[in-house]
């Protein structure tokens, strides 16, 4: 798979196929694409739509790498309060610029 060829395809408006996009997404997520080509892909994706097959291929590559989250059975669900707690603590100390 030549990254330059894939970049040219996106720039020309031809789009990517499912298999090419899945392989590209896997390489991007695994860190197998050099920084310059990664930047070129991001610019190409921003300027041109690679097509539905490409987005589905990228989604497939991402779905392979994410864990399956299962909701706990029972009447209660676990809630993560760490970001909220950190914000409340920083608000008290007047150091929170992100959410205040």
Give the tens place of pLDDT for each residue, 66-85. Answer: 887 777 777 776 666 555 55
User: Which pLDDT tens digit goes with each residue over 7-65?
Assistant: 888 888 888 889 989 998 999 888 888 999 999 988 988 888 888 998 999 899 999 98
What is the pLDDT, as a whole number, of residue 94?
52
Please count the residues of the chain: 100
Give yes or no for a contact between 21 and 41, defined as CB atoms under 8 angstroms apart: no
Higher pLDDT, 58 or 98: 58
pTM score of the predicted model: 0.63
User: What is residue 87's predicted lDDT score, i.e. its pLDDT?
Assistant: 55
CA distances to 10, 21, 59, 67, 75 from 51, in Å: 9, 10, 13, 26, 42
């Amino acid at each position: 798979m030549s990254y330059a060829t894939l970049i040219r395809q996106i720039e020309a408006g031809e789009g990517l196929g499912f298999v090419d996009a899945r392989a590209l997404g896997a390489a991007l997520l695994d860190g197998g694409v050099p920084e310059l080509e990664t930047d070129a892909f991001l610019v190409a994706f921003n300027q041109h739509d690679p097509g539905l097959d490409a987005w589905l291929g990228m989604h497939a590559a991402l779905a392979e790498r994410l864990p399956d989250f299962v909701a706990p059975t029972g009447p209660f669900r676990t809630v993560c309060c760490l970001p909220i707690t950190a914000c409340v603590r920083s608000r008290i100390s007047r150091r929170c610029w992100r959410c205040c």
